[in-house]
Amino acid sequence: MRVALDAFDAPAPLRLAARVLAWPFSWLGEKGDPTLPPVVRAIQALGPAYIKFGQIMSTRPDVVGAEMATQLRVLQDKLPPFPIEEAKKQIEEELGMPVDEIYSDFSEPVAAASIAQVHKATLRETGEEVAIKVLRPGIERAFRKDLDAFWFAAAMIETLSPSSRRLRPRDVIAHFEGVVMGELDLRLEAAAASEFQANTVKDEGFELPQVNWMLSGRKVMTMSWAAGESLGDNAALDAAGHDRAVLSQRVLQLFLNHALRDGFFHADMHQGNLKVAPNGNIIAYDFGIMGHIDEYTRRVYAEILFGFIRRDYKRVAEVHFEAGYVPGDRDIDEFARALRAVGEPIFGMDATRISMGKLLAYLFEVTERFGMETRTELILLQRTMVVVEGVARSLDPRMNIWKVAQPVVEDYIKGSIGPKAAASDLWKTAQVMARFGPRLPKLVEAALIRQATPEPEPRKRPWASRVGWASLGCALGVAGTLALHMFN
């Protein structure tokens, strides 16, 4: 705990509270491989949901320090694997064929993460080298236990700290639960990979492995083998002759293109899921977490980025108010000045001297001061932006995020905001109205009838009915969660 608090440069009151509350769990740092650092061992012992958080922190040496970030990279793809016999058993159950009939060669695990591990194999029929992703046995139950703990913590936080409700802890956990449960069905991951492939097939300097649908299922996914150097191994990249400054810019611009142009992006872009091919292309894999944002949100996000790039803080503030991200009763000019305090140090200082930890702390103060609530639709986008920027800075510490983002954001703004975009929006609206055209008379008639008909008097119901089954269900749910923790 002390090591983690030092890495985050936590204030003294938080250090004291954390040490007191965490003391009963100090034994977690002694579990697992004794050759690994205590923080890594503790995160592994806590469970797969906590490992996800550790993976994010591993991309941010500017937040947790270079040494801690390096230690946490073990969590990306070097966790303890489960036995190869278990993997073969799951493959045979899923595909309905003996492993030896499908593959002429089947390796020990080449990578192991929180949810699954990967084996390299050769198809007996074609001789193609493939990567086989296999879910960890019992992973769904392990995640359920972590999520139950998160739900309990969110409820306690909202109860003990009413001011935290603007952060919507329970909504955040609900969002996280949806993302995680989607990761546990590899058929959905295969579908996401296929859609991502179709969107990015013309992207220069970017490639994806191909899904083998015939050899994929709920617990197993087979893809073509991606050969290359890990994007997290700077020494190997240098030895292979790759320009890390170019790669740094490319990984950020690719993410922005996918998010703004397509509204569908890889939302787990840490170094463990990225390689560099011999020809210099960036290869992405592991599509369990994908982000989706609608056209309106993309435009808001682009205008905010564009305002920061132009240092037009008044326009950035206006966009926040227009989108409803800041309550309308707050002072827009004061908010613009707060944003200037965020943006100016980034523009006026060498990237290597920017304290991202202090910047994030100030951003949190700003959101609290202006009553900004957590936007669950933006969680994946914001999280991925933090990760991708961290990956880019690990390749080139002097990379300027705003200069790199500028051409991508400007291109999107030109095509999505202005007369051309307005005409496109009107045309889309007309198409929707045309589809509903034959039904419009009946819809209007039904609405007029409802308006003219008086509503009946509400009938008095017995006490149990007034309380409602939903409330009873909530109470039983809380009791069930507590019981689950007591008996697990």
Mean pLDDT of 463-487: 38
Residue 313 sits in the same domain as residue 347: yes
Three-state secondary-structure class, residue 110? strand
Domain-located, residue 330: yes
Residue 246 sits in the same domain as residue 173: no
Residue 175 sits in the same domain as residue 322: no
pLDDT tens-digit readout, 362-378: 666 777 778 777 666 67
Domain-located, residue 45: yes
Residue 176 sits in the same domain as residue 258: no
Residue 432 sits in the same domain as residue 413: no
Residue 281 sits in the same domain as residue 370: yes
Mean pLDDT of 396-413: 86
Report whether pLDDT(476) > 60. no
CB neighbour list of residue 352: distance below 8 Å, 6 or more residues apart: 397, 398
For residue 23, what pLDDT is reported? 47
Report whether pLDDT(320) > 60. yes
Domain-located, residue 70: yes
Domain-located, residue 316: yes
Residue 352 sits in the same domain as residue 435: no
Q: Which domain covers residue 27, as residue numbers?
A: 2-77
Of 147, 181, 215, which residue is a domain's last?
A: 181
Residue 158 sits in the same domain as residue 259: no
Residues involved in catalysis = 268
Domain-located, residue 239: yes
pLDDT tens-digit readout, 161-218: 776 676 677 777 777 777 777 778 999 999 999 999 999 999 999 999 999 999 999 9
For residue 29, what pLDDT is reported? 45
Residue 410 sits in the same domain as residue 270: yes
| Phi, psi torsion values for 291, nearest 5 degrees | -105, 145
Of 148, 181, 214, which residue is a domain's last?
A: 181
Rounded Cα distance between 276 and 242, Å, is: 8
Name the domain count of the chain: 4
For residue 218, what pLDDT is reported? 92
Domain-located, residue 433: yes
Residue 439 sits in the same domain as residue 409: no
**377 or 484: which leads in pLDDT:** 377
pLDDT tens-digit readout, 111-162: 888 888 999 999 999 999 999 999 988 888 887 787 777 777 778 777 777 7
Residue 311 sits in the same domain as residue 345: yes
Highest mean pLDDT among 71-85, 103-117, 173-187, 468-482: 103-117
Domain-located, residue 69: yes
DSSP state for residue 361 in the 8-state scheme: H
Give the tokens for residue 66.
């270079």
Give the tokens for residue 377.
């639709």
Mean pLDDT of 333-359: 72
pLDDT tens-digit readout, 28-44: 444 556 777 778 887 77
For residue 19, what pLDDT is reported? 55
Domain-located, residue 211: no
Put the strands of the sheet holding 206-207 in their side by side order: 206-207, 282-284, 274-276, 229-230
For residue 281, what pLDDT is reported? 95
Residue 58 sits in the same domain as residue 148: no
